[in-house]
Chain A
Amino acid sequence: MIVSIARKEFSEIVRDGRFKWTAGMMALLLLTAMAAGCQKHSAYMDMQRLSQDRTNAQWLNQGNKNPHAGAHYGNYAFKPAGPLAFFDNGINHYAGNALFMEAHKQNFALGRPATDQSSIGRFGDLSGAMILQLLMPLLIIFLGFTAFAGERESGTLRQALSMGVSNRQLLWGKALGIGAVVALITGLCVAAGGLALSLTGLSMENESLGARVALMALSYSLYAGIFLFLTLAVSAWAKNVRTALMVLVGFWAFAAFLAPKAAVEISKAAHPTPAFGQWMADMRTHQMRGIDGVPPFARFQQESEALFAEYGAESVAELPVYVGALRLQKFEEYDFPVFEQHFGRLRDAYTRQRRLQDRLGIVAPTLPLRSLSMTLAGTDLIRHIQFADAAEAYRREMVATVNNYLGEAAASLNSGYGGGNVLIADEAVFAMVPPFEFAPQGLGKALSEHAGNFVALALWLAAALGLAIGAARRLKVDGD
């Protein structure tokens, strides 16, 4: 029985002129978004790869100079887009993609595409994810708001129920019918997008692509299910189709547009992001003051005796390493905890904001889905932080390598004065630093942050299902 109701619902929708329009538009938009996403993604990845190779080569061929000057010349880390960025570009437009790694300074990733876009860009990306997050729910509402209310108004509900169909059968049949239509449209388009991407031939080893796609499909199915059952619940409960439509469209506008922005403002008020000027002044002051209140020069003086003892030396002249290089490296290390504290403070604010936004998903299912989708696409904040961490680890290693080389190679300068500029490092010395390569952590690590989001989606689905079953049980055969 359920199957025949579903079949009836399916063919009724498919034969409806409204459906042809909405479904056609939706399919067209999805295909456009997927095609554009693939094209932009592969162009970005080509550019990223090329630029990283170029700067890695530039590091090697920077010319002969003092090795520490080489660390000032530094290198760049360019951020790869994330394995499913063609589908969900996440924060990529708003987070920098080029991180300068140099001596003495931990930097932010710069070059945010949003800075170079006109304000039109702020309306958002037309991506597959955006369409499924914002438009798919509306499609479900349009297809389903008349499911019960419409049949009641036209009197066919009484007929159907008089034939011995149970309320519950009717509900499942309709859910199945509408669900099949939605799955058909979105499934086809997403498959086309995936095919196009596989044709671009980007390598994505170690990115557990299969798991990502499967979880993505699961998340979006849960999301679609929520709207499907909510639509049926409201349609069964509402007195007439007009009310059903108003309530559903109102909820959609709230969940998809109002809630995310409101959640952002609330999270910013609860966990304020420090302003750049304030943050910069705090960190630089702290740096000069020293982490424990002892400025770097004084601290080096204090520690020098113990430091020299490590080398079995009593004076500078006996040191087996160049004292200038030793001091450079020590100063570098004194800054680590300061950087960790201040960059950490910023990240904490970001992470707390994100968690609060996720938790606010309890009032709007779009929030947890959006968060999950970005993580699965590898275009989220967690991955951005991993990238910044990888760059910082590389920077420390890079600077230490050349400073230590300077220390050993220039040990004879300890007796001289200021000769550090004379020592020349060449390509062989710079080659001691391996090229930068970003190896993202596994998907499991990122997903461990998202258990709550899966729970939120599941709760929403359970609630929507409960409402639908409840409304179907109390289904009134006549309106008004």
Chain B
Amino acid sequence: MKRIIISHETRQLFRSGAFRALLLLLAGAVAFAAWSGQRSIDRQIEGANAAAAFEDGHRNKMRADTEKYQARVAAEGGEYQFASARHGAGEGPPQGTNAGVVGSATAKYLRLPPTGLAPFSVGQSDIQLSYVPVSMNPAIHITRDNELENPVNLMTGSFDIAFVVIFLLPIFILAISYDLLSSEKERGTLAMVLAHPISLKALMVSKIAARAGVLFAAVLALGLAALLAVGDGLGSFDTWARFGLWAAATLLYALFWFALSVLVNVHGGNSAANGIALAGTWLALVVVVPTLAGLLATTLYPAPSRMELTTAARQAQTEAESAYMARLSEYYYDHLEFVPEGDERAMDFLTVAMANRNAIDKAVRPLHDEFQSQLNRQESLVRRFQFISPAIMMQLALNEISGTSADRYEHFLNQAFDFRDEWSDFFTVRFLRRAPLKPSDYDQFPTFEYQEEPFATVLTRLLPSLAGMLALLGGAILIPFAGLRRYPVATS
């Protein structure tokens, strides 16, 4: 009997013009979202390529100059020498021989590569640069630049697949299921159907199964099509594992909305009342509660003020600067092995500037570190608020799955900070030794390769969001069936 009802319902669904229109809309939305997600990733890659080409071009030019210089020295005889730093053109050895100039005037761009599923959820990647500059400049410069997106666009947010899943999919689900029982009751067919040997519960389950089956198939097909169209690394385990997680999370989320619809249906209201209740619930769970959670979180656990950090850092900078000659000694103290013979400390502007920068960095960095740890504390508190709305859990989960989460970005930044020390040390040592950089030294520059997090880490971070949704789903399934026993089959 159940099977008959399911196949009947499925056929009925496909015959309904409204349902076909909804499916078409869903497909259109996914296609549009995939297209815009792809464009956002392309833009990131373009930006990273251009920035890297610019800085590498500088270094290559310097290297070419040293090659010419080396050839000249070989031809004319004499010593391959170190050039002191200068602004603009000048005589003598090229600036490329000076490790301090190469290390501070050019930067190395490090990239956070997008995952294969990145176009599915733009996440925070429209705000945070996925490529950061590393040089001998203070570490805080690594995070100084922002992506240039129009703030109005950032405020509105992206039309990505995550948006379609979180915002639109529930609307479609509610639209095809809000009048599951009520419409039959209003037409008077419910009593007739129940005259057959089928329980109300079985009828309900069959109706939901038909709708959920069709919708799940559609969502999976659309997701797969999007992956094939705009996904990357289609040959890698990582991409398919992420896609599997995406499908699981999306089905879980969709099930929750079906369960919610059942919950409202068994209350026995008419179609209009069900419609209002479900539209209201959607609004509450997807729009109001998340913004309310944001408000609560930022009120209870406000992020420290960046303005305050700025002025405090400046105060520290002023104090550090006021004694920069003393700091020069300190700089050499940090690198005692490089004090030139006879203690003739170099007084050229680059050394002084570096000593100064060093002093400022030392004074300012604790403030930034404290700020960052305050932010992290706040973030972990705020994350607890996700459990009050499936939409927030889903957003966090999808960001995590697509590799656009704040955590993955931090993982990348930590590697960037470590690399910055390696890179900076490489040049500092050679600069203070006044060891001239030869063309072959350019091949010895440290290289960076982003180390992806183990998949288990991603899973661990996903767990709370998925568990939370599972718990919500459990609640939403258990409650309604208890209420079915009291369902009035006919309008009185």
Which A residues lie at the B interface, using CB under 8 A?
18, 22, 29, 32-33, 36, 39-40, 47-48, 51, 54-55, 58, 61-63, 65, 73, 76, 78, 90-91, 93-98, 108, 110-126, 130, 134-135, 138, 142, 145-146, 241-242, 245-246, 249-250, 253, 257-258, 260-265, 267-269, 272-282, 284-285, 297, 346, 349-350, 353-354, 357, 380-381, 384, 421
Contacts and interface: CB of A to CB of B under 8 A. Distances in A.
B297 interface: yes
Contacts of A125: 291, 294-295
Given A120-B392, A124-B290, A279-B47, 11 more contacts: A47-B307, A58-B315, A98-B307, A112-B151, A113-B303, A118-B297, A124-B287, A261-B158, A264-B152, A269-B39, A281-B53
Nearest to A97: B307
Given A62-B318, A277-B109, A119 B395 contact: yes
A273 to B, nearest CB: 6
A111 B294 contact: no
A120 B150 contact: no
A331 to B, nearest CB: 10
A268 B306 contact: no
Contacts of B385: 120
Contacts of B47: 275-279
Contacts of B395: 119-120, 122-123
B306 A98 contact: yes
Contact of B127 (A76, A115, A260): A115
Contact of A119 (B51, B291, B405): B405
Given A61-B318, A120-B392, A123-B391, A275 B303 contact: no
A276 B126 CA distance: 11
B150 A349 contact: yes
B43 A275 contact: yes
Interface stretch (B91-99, B139-147, B231-239, B260-268): B139-147
Contact of A275 (B44, B109, B175, B314): B44
Nearest to A357: B152
Interface stretch (B3-11, B248-256, B272-280, B431-439): B272-280
Contact of B294 (A121, A257, A353, A357): A121
Contact of B163 (A32, A58, A261): A261
Contact of A29 (B153, B288, B310, B378): B288
A98 B305 CA distance: 11
Given A120-B385, A346-B148, A257 B167 contact: yes
A36 B295 contact: yes
A245 B276 contact: yes
A262 B271 CA distance: 31
Interface of B: 29, 32, 36, 39, 43-44, 46-54, 88-89, 109, 123-124, 127-129, 131, 144-159, 163, 167-168, 171, 175, 179, 183, 271-272, 275-276, 279-280, 283, 287-288, 290-295, 297-299, 303, 305-308, 310-311, 314-315, 317-318, 321-322, 349, 375, 378-379, 382-383, 385-386, 391-392, 395-396, 399, 405-406
A207 to B, nearest CB: 21
A171 B471 CA distance: 48
Contacts of B383: 118, 120
A353 B152 contact: yes
B392 A22 contact: no
B299 A36 contact: yes
A116 B291 contact: no
Nearest to A267: B153
A138 B283 contact: yes
B96 to A, nearest CB: 16
The main secondary structure of chain B at its interface with chain A is: helix
B51 A276 contact: yes
Contacts of A269: 36, 39
A275 B308 contact: no
B157 A350 contact: no
A384 B152 CA distance: 11
A277 B131 contact: yes
Contacts of B292: 29, 32, 126
A378 B271 CA distance: 44
19 contacts: A40-B299, A54-B311, A55-B310, A73-B318, A90-B155, A110-B144, A117-B294, A119-B399, A120-B294, A124-B155, A245-B276, A257-B287, A265-B32, A268-B150, A269-B39, A277-B131, A353-B150, A357-B152, A381-B150
Given A116-B303, A261-B157, A253 B171 contact: yes
Given A76-B310, A115-B127, A276-B51, A110 B146 contact: yes
B307 A78 contact: yes
Contacts of A97: 306-307
Contacts of B272: 145-146, 241-242, 245
A58 B303 contact: no
B305 A47 contact: yes
Contact of A55 (B32, B44, B171, B311): B311
User: Which 6 residue pairs spanning A and B have beta carbons closest together?
Assistant: A275-B47, A277-B51, A277-B47, A281-B54, A123-B290, A126-B291
A98 B147 contact: no
Nearest to B175: A246
Contacts of A249: 275, 279
Given A275-B43, A277-B46, A130 B291 contact: yes
B266 to A, nearest CB: 18
B261 to A, nearest CB: 14
B54 A285 contact: yes
A297 B89 contact: yes
Nearest to B312: A54
Contacts of A76: 310-311, 314
B39 A58 contact: no
A91 B155 contact: yes
Contacts of B158: 261, 264-265
A275 B148 contact: yes
* Most chain B CB atoms below 10 A, which of A76, A78, A275, A278: A275
A353 B46 contact: no
A142 B273 CA distance: 10
A109 to B, nearest CB: 9
A278 B129 CA distance: 12
B310 A281 contact: no
Given A58-B314, A62-B318, A276-B148, A117 B307 contact: no
Contacts of A350: 150, 152
A138 B297 CA distance: 26
A267 to B, nearest CB: 8
Nearest to A146: B272
Contact of B156 (A32, A48, A62, A261): A261
B48 A277 contact: yes
A27 to B, nearest CB: 13
Contact of A18 (B153, B276, B399): B276
B313 to A, nearest CB: 10
Given A246-B175, A277-B52, A277-B109, A268 B151 contact: no
Contacts of B288: 29, 126, 135
Contact of A264 (B88, B156, B290, B321): B156
Contacts of B375: 116
Given A245-B272, A274-B148, A119 B123 contact: yes
Contacts of B392: 120, 123
A90 B391 CA distance: 23
A142 to B, nearest CB: 6
Nearest to A281: B54
Nearest to B87: A297
* Most chain B CB atoms below 10 A, which of A93, A273, A276: A276
Contacts of B317: 73
A93 B295 CA distance: 13
B396 A115 contact: no
Contacts of A91: 151-152, 154-155
Nearest to B307: A51
A120 B293 CA distance: 8
Nearest to B145: A276
A197 to B, nearest CB: 17
A275 B46 contact: yes
Contacts of A262: 32, 159
